[in-house]
Amino acid sequence: MDTTGILDEALHRLHGTGPERLGRLSNHAPMAVEALAAHGQAGAVHRWLDLYARRLEEFPSRVEPVTDANWRSALGDPGRVADWIGHFERELAERPWREVLARWWPRLLPGLYGGSTHPVIRVGHAVRTLLAGEAAGAAGAVGVAATGPRLAELAHGLGYWAARHRPVAAPARLPGAAGAAAGLDAVPPVAVRDGGFPDRLDRVTALPVWADAVTEPGEAYDRLTELVRAATHRYAAYGHGEETMLVHAATAPNAVLRTLPALPRALWPASLRAAWTASAAVTAMYAPAAPVACVPPGAVTPEEVFELALAHGDEHVIKLADTALDVGDAPALAAALRAMELSDRLG
């Protein structure tokens, strides 16, 4: 847990920039700097930001305030992202952050697939920081409360999600699989693989049944943990299909998993189902037809893997390494190292 103030400085610096650039590419900096701070690399945050700064755009203009009366008409309108962020800033100033999150999570969850799942990933990073601050505060640490920049980051993440909200039609139910790994193996690829994420997402019409029948919150948590592990492991052998987009098959469900402890347990089963659809859809859109052999890492520690990810610099590499450390086993570390091989360095 970063208690140096560097994460807050970085978030404050970033909140003058927009959540996207070029009208479609996500600003990954808030997620990456949170991951760096979470893994003891706060000292590298501003140096990394200096390299990434050329990819940032100014914060967009506001149109009109989002209110309790008009929010439905603004949902899914990317041109209203500044209005949405402002709305959540006001809500978080008036109510506890957990209350705001619990109120909006079921409204936003059906549109988890917008923005290539980046908005929910950003929310997951923001929630992890807030939960870590609560835990540290309960243990007697000083200066780790829900600071202004950390609450503002949650507002930016939720606002981005609301603006990019994109539901999907329920896919046809294919025969199920015994576990998450087998379920991902059974995902049929989309027939046409051109266009961007939204175009491909429209072609995902059928997915294996895996999480549909789960109703008990504890089982939902366990299944989601299993899914994150399976998707992370799978990247090592299949990441060459699309080294960047396939990262989201693991990081999107992990963002949901990180958020569950802050949510009412009644929301956990629906969260699992949305996360499964996202991970399986990304697999359908981008996974290659055949795996490649991936040599497991030798005697390398999780800390060393994350230091290598930082040295590499690519934001998706950092985020996959972050998820791999959550999983914590050798196949997950192999996936993080594979992402470094496949991805271009930041520079």
Tokens representing 322 are: 């972050």
pLDDT for 136: 76
Q: Are 20 and 58 in contact (CB under 8 A)?
A: no
Alpha helices in 62-117 (DSSP H): 71-74, 81-94, 97-108
3-state helix, strand, coil in the chain (%, to 5): 65, 5, 30
Are the C-beta atoms of 98 and 262 separated by less than 8 Å? yes
Residue located via tokens 């590419």: 25
Residues of the chain with pLDDT under 70: 1-3, 137, 139-145
Structure confidence by residue, pLDDT tens digits, 247-305: 999 999 999 999 999 999 999 999 999 999 999 999 999 999 999 998 777 789 999 99
Condensed to tens digits (0 to 9), the pLDDT of residues 175-208 reads: 988 899 999 999 999 999 999 999 999 999 999 9
Cα(76)–Cα(281) distance, integer angstroms: 20
- Any idea how long the chain is? 347
What is the structure's pLDDT at 7?
95
* CA 177 to mean position of chain CA atoms: 25
Report yes or no on whether pTM surpasses 0.85: yes
CA distances from 40 to 5, 320, 324 (A): 13, 16, 15
Q: What residue spans define the domains of the chain?
A: 6-163, 168-347
**What H or E segment, with its residue span, contains residue 208?**
strand 206-208
In which element (H, E) is residue 258 found?
Answer: helix 248-259
